[in-house]
Amino acid sequence: MSLRKHSSTIRTMENNESGKSQRTYLQHLNNVIKRVTFGVLMISGFLIIILIGPIMLMFLAFIIQVLCFREILKIGYDSNKLPHNLPYFRFLCWYFLMVANYFFSVETIAPHFQDYYTKFYNLKILISYHRFISFCAYFGGIVLFVLSLVRKYDLKQFKIFAWTHTLLILIVLQSYLVIDNMFNGLIWLILPVSLVILNDIFAYLFGRLYGKTPLIKLSPKKTWEGFIGGVVGTFISGFILSNIMCQFKYFVCPIEYYETESGVAFDCTPSYLFNPKKISVWIISLDFYPFTYHFIALALFASIVAPFGGFCASGFKRAFKLKDFGDVIPGHGGIMDRFDCQFLMATFVNVYIFTFVKSPSVELIFEKILYLDESKQLQFYYLLRDFLQASEFDNSI
């Protein structure tokens, strides 16, 4: 009797284990399906926005910035357990966000819309004196912050104050670097974003299929096999994508806005970076774009360094005992879960363009000359005339 009862107990335990493993498998499968489905939807939506044009891309960058700011600000509130009845304190965090957006938008975007804002007097004042206005607005916020302090919660309020300013640097500033990259040509925005996405996809696939060797303690699921597979996959697929994009003026022309019917000009003489050169490899003749050298730098950063933005985010979440930054995107978590590496990539691209690619803009220099008074404009004219005449004389000798 006892033997029969023991056998029944074993069978029950085996059935429970089998049912548990089946539920785990179905749950994992459901998560994979969600992740793939919403990943495809996000990529499709991004492609549609690219086709609509740069204005929609700027609007998308702003929406992502606000959502990321909201997600991480909420973590700060929750971890410090601030009450909701503090006088206008929570509003101040969003006030500083608005001031930062005003400052960075004028610094980054306004110079490309001169044909528009010069016709509106009030708008011209907001742009011409934006640094002074930003300074006054910011210190107005400081005054309000001091007035909002409550003795019982002042330490936590200062923590949130520091938390907010960190977000302004990590999220707001970098979102405008994304936009600034775009004005040099859509390829400088779309390709880096695509490289990070491709690296994430290939690292996930190779990690799932072949991952055995742990890469970093902060993220136990990250493996060397996935990391190396991501590097290889990023280079191959990214190289194909970059060569396709180099063929279209829509992607390689710097973005310039004029007061015309279309508003934006995508017609230009492409830079030498996007003019193919014939090279021979054995008996095969290939078109080689000089931009490929820059692609290699971008791909190296996207596949080797940018993932550490994700590792850093994983460490941050683990420190606050969080699985994801939010639950906005099923299967992916929050907005910040998808853009932790993108912000780091945008900063690198901006620094790289400024250091190795971009030359001073004649239009922007001319705009600054227009702000000089008449005597200084004449001084500039005589200096430039004398320099050109001296250069002409040296060449004739």
Query: How far apart, in whole angstroms, are the C-alpha atoms of residue 177 and residue 186?
Result: 13
Assigned token pair, 105: 């938008």
Domain count, the chain: 3
The boundaries of the domain holding residue 81 are 53-362
Please indicate, yes or no, whether residues 146 and 3 belong to a single structural domain of this protein: no
The DSSP secondary-structure symbol of 83 reads -
Length, in residues, of the chain: 397
Please indicate, yes or no, whether residues 225 and 283 belong to a single structural domain of this protein: yes
Please indicate, yes or no, whether residues 222 and 169 belong to a single structural domain of this protein: yes
Please indicate, yes or no, whether residues 6 and 37 belong to a single structural domain of this protein: yes
Query: How far apart, in whole angstroms, are the C-alpha atoms of residue 322 and residue 105?
Result: 33
Please indicate, yes or no, whether residues 248 and 375 belong to a single structural domain of this protein: no
3-state SS of the chain: helix, strand, coil percent to 5? 75, 5, 20
Please indicate, yes or no, whether residues 260 and 278 belong to a single structural domain of this protein: yes
Q: What is the pLDDT of residues 337-391, one digit of tens each?
A: 888 888 889 999 999 999 998 766 676 677 678 777 888 889 988 888 888 888 7
Please indicate, yes or no, whether residues 217 and 183 belong to a single structural domain of this protein: yes
Contacts of 279 (CB under 8 A, 6+ apart): 285, 286, 288
CA atoms in the 13 A half-sphere facing the CB of 373: 1
Highest mean pLDDT among 10-24, 117-131, 178-192, 372-386: 178-192
Q: What is the pLDDT of residue 24?
A: 67
Beta carbons of 325 and 71 less than 8 angstroms apart: yes
Beta carbons of 87 and 332 less than 8 angstroms apart: no
Q: What is the pLDDT of residue 325?
A: 86
Please indicate, yes or no, whether residues 374 and 341 belong to a single structural domain of this protein: no
Please indicate, yes or no, whether residues 104 and 164 belong to a single structural domain of this protein: yes
pLDDT at 19 over 60: no
Please indicate, yes or no, whether residues 393 and 350 belong to a single structural domain of this protein: no
First to last CA, the chain: 117
Please indicate, yes or no, whether residues 105 and 11 belong to a single structural domain of this protein: no
Query: How far apart, in whole angstroms, are the C-alpha atoms of residue 249 and residue 185?
Result: 9
pLDDT at 9 over 70: no
Q: Is the pTM of this model over 0.85?
A: no
* Domain-terminating residue out of 31, 52, 73: 52
Please indicate, yes or no, whether residues 244 and 379 belong to a single structural domain of this protein: no
Q: Position 392: which residue type?
A: E
The dihedrals phi and psi of 358, each to the nearest 5 degrees, come to -75, 135
Beta strand ranges found along the chain (DSSP E):
214-216, 219-223, 256-257, 264-265, 277-281, 284-288
